[in-house]
């Protein structure tokens, strides 16, 4: 993937999150879900360059989508959130070590959603 410099809109969103959380982010990954047919399969954001126990701030715009979490070890542990327009989801601590997350496909959603995940990359 080819990184681009932050534009003014992204810098504004980044600085609002940073002053709220007292954390500085170095990068942002943008995902476009054109409709409910676009999804993001089960994964953990545990790439080496994120370091141990990464803090990831995830902002959602547009269509509300389901966000599922499942524990890697204990299959009985699951969580389901609805990520609303304008919401901020924070993943931190051992979340990526212990849990997988996904945005499942759905036939109910025909509208677009944009998700921005702000990250600290060494
Ligand atoms: O779209 C979302 O809310 C999640 C995106 C995600 O998990 C990722 O980019 O790693
Ligand atoms: Fe993720």
Asked whether the ipTM of the predicted complex exceeds the cut of 0.90, the reply is: yes
Ligand with an atom nearest the CA of residue 95: 2
Mutate to test the pocket of ligand 1, among 28, 31, 32 (most ligand atoms within 8 A of CB): 31
Instruction: With respect to residue 55, please indicate whether it lies within any of the assigned structural domains.
Output: yes
For residue 92, being part of any structural domain is answered with yes
Q: Which residue is closest in CA terms to ligand 1's atom 1?
A: 115
Question: Within a domain: residue 20?
Answer: no
DSSP 31-83: EEE-STT--EEEE----GGG-SS--EEEEEEES-EEEEEEESS-TT-EEEEEE
Count of domains for the chain: 1
* Domain assignment of residue 43, yes or no: yes
**Residue identifier of the C-alpha nearest atom 10 of ligand 1:** 45
Q: Which domain holds residue 77?
A: 26-119
Provide the pairing of β-strand 27-33 with 40-43.
unpaired
Contacts of 67 (CB under 8 A, 6+ apart): 80, 81, 82, 83, 89, 101, 102, 103
- The number of the ligand nearest the C-alpha atom of 59 reads 1
* pLDDT per residue rounded down to tens, the chain (122 residues): 889 999 999 999 999 999 999 999 999 999 999 999 999 999 999 999 999 999 999 999 999 999 999 999 999 999 999 999 999 999 999 999 999 999 999 999 999 999 999 999 98
Q: Contact, 2 vs 73, CB < 8 A?
A: no
**Is 1 inside any structural domain?**
no
- What the block records as the tokens of 25 is 């982010």
R_g of the chain, CA atoms, integer Å: 14
Residue 60: inside a domain, yes or no?
Answer: yes
10 lies in a domain?
A: no
The pLDDT score that the predictor gives to residue 1 is: 80
What CATH number did the domain enclosing 103 receive?
2.60.120.590
Which residue's alpha carbon is nearest to atom 3 within ligand 1?
115
| 90 within a domain of the structure (yes/no) | yes
């Amino acid at each position: 993937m080819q990184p681009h410099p932050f534009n003014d809109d992204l810098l504004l969103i980044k600085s609002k999150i940073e002053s709220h959380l007292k954390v500085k982010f170095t990068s942002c990954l943008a995902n476009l879900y054109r409709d409910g047919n676009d999804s993001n399969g089960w994964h953990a954001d545990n790439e080496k360059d994120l370091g141990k126990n990464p803090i990831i701030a995830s902002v959602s715009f547009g269509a509300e989508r389901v966000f599922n979490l499942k524990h890697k070890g204990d299959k009985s542990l699951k969580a389901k959130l609805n990520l609303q327009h304008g919401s901020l989801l924070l993943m931190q601590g051992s979340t990526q070590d212990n849990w997988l997350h996904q945005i499942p496909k759905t036939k109910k959603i025909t509208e677009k959603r944009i998700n921005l995940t702000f990250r600290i990359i060494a």
